[in-house]
Amino acid sequence: MFDGFWDNVFRYPRYLISIVLGIFLNTFAPLFPLLKRPVTLIAVLGLLVGGLAFITFTLRAMLGLGTI
């Protein structure tokens, strides 16, 4: 009844990693052609840094982790 149970359990981390990598590749693949021109590279990087800063400051304010 439990033949190969632990083999199946140990396959899940590899499955999780492949799913996460697939999501990241499909999300960021359309951005790679934009990174060939310096102007769009700066714009895309600015949007990513700005978005990360916005999420960081919002979560810090919501959780009361520090004064802004």
| Per-residue model confidence as pLDDT tens digits over 2-54 | 788 888 888 999 999 999 999 999 998 988 888 889 999 899 899 999 999 99
Cα 27-43-26 angle, rounded to 5 deg: 5
CA 13 to chain centre: 17
- The band of 68, judged by pLDDT with boundaries at 50, 70 and 90, is low
Does pTM top 0.95 for this prediction?
Answer: no
* Total residues belonging to the chain: 68
- Specify the pLDDT at position 4: 86
Return the percent helix, strand and coil in the chain, to nearest 5.
Answer: 85, 0, 15
Element (H, E) at 45: helix 38-63
Q: What is the Cα–Cα distance from 63 to 31, expressed in whole angstroms?
A: 32
Does position 64 have pLDDT exceeding 60, yes or no?
A: yes
- The band of 1, judged by pLDDT with boundaries at 50, 70 and 90, is low
